[in-house]
Amino acid sequence: MTDIKFRSDMTVDLLAVTGVYPDERAIAEAARVSTLGKDTEPGEVEGLVRYLVRSHHTSPLEQVDFIFRIEAPIFVTRQIIRHRTLAINEESGRYRELEGVFYVPEEGRRLRQVGKTGDYEFTDFPEASAYAREVIQDQSGFGWDAYRSLLDAGVAKEVARMVLPVNLYSTMQVKASLHNWLRFITKRTFAYREKPQHEVAMVGDKIKAHLTEHFPVVVDEFDKTHKGDA
């Protein structure tokens, strides 16, 4: 097993916030078009934004885009790709040699699934932690060695990658409107009704933190009015 690294974290870097303004004024400006700017004063941005979010008046939230660069294992990027309203470019294993960076769950990650399909929870299983981490690391190493040996034998990258496991990290650039990122976090964080996988929620939490930093009123009102939604 050579040249491989293990990580237990996710990267979500904010590349851009695009809109008439990079903050809540963009939402208010868009909404004011509806009334030709006659009904609200500049100081009323917060009240207007709260009203829009509370009333599910979502089109002004589509006037702002967030672009993120995400590094996550393939089993997480697969879940992200299911969201069709995201615009995505992902790293190619056909055109470049992949890097040997693999996900391994941190020691405190809950490992035992208890309950039935659709209604279960995860509980601590500390006696399996070291064993699970060891098996995952060993398998990552076997996969990586097989990948490198196929490349060394002259096999094309798009074929050699077939032996790699889904805990290999991938990189994607993802763009969506604020509205669609809010929809995303209802599915991919634990703050709402859904029960996402722990690892995709690590990404969802970081996305939510970026949204909150730039649009604190939107996220605050969204949380107040959408906690039961998914």
Region of residue 58 (phi > 0: left; psi between -120 and 50: alpha; otherwise: beta): alpha
Residue given tokens 């078009």 in the structure block: 33
Q: Which of 78, 82, 188, 193 is catalytic?
A: 188
Q: Determine if 110 is a binding residue for ligand FAD (CB under 6 A).
A: no
Distance (Å, whole) CA 15 – CA 67: 5
Determine, following the binding rule CB under 6 A, whether residue 96 of this chain makes contact with ligand FAD.
no
* Residues contacting ligand FAD: total by CB under 6 A: 9
Query: Contact between 85 and ligand FAD (CB under 6 A)?
Result: yes
The interface region with ligand FAD, picked from 5-13, 79-87, 113-121, 208-216 by CB under 6 A, is 79-87
Tokens of 216: 């604190």
For residues 125 to 164, the per-residue mask of contacts with ligand FAD, x marking binding by CB under 6 A and - elsewhere, is ----------------------------------------
Cβ 225 vs Cβ 53: under 8 Å? yes
- Is residue 38 a contact residue for ligand FAD (CB under 6 A)? no
Positions 178 through 197 that interact with ligand FAD (CB under 6 A): 183, 187, 194-196
Is 193 one of the annotated active-site residues of the chain?
no
Residue 32 makes contact with ligand FAD by CB under 6 A: no
Instruction: List 11's β-bridge partners, or say none.
Output: 71
Cα gap 107→105, rounded to integer Å: 6
Per CB under 6 A, the list member of 3, 36, 38, 82 interacting with ligand FAD is 82
Phi then psi for 168, rounded to 5 degrees? -70, 135
Q: Is 229 in the site for ligand FAD (CB under 6 A)?
A: no
Q: What burial class does residue 110 get, using C-beta atoms within 10 Å of its C-beta: 0-12 exposed, 13-18 middle, 19+ buried?
A: middle
How many alpha carbons lie under 13 Å from residue 21 in its C-beta half-sphere?
Answer: 12
Binding site for ligand FAD (CB under 6 A): 82-85, 183, 187, 194-196
Tell me which residues are annotated as active site: 188
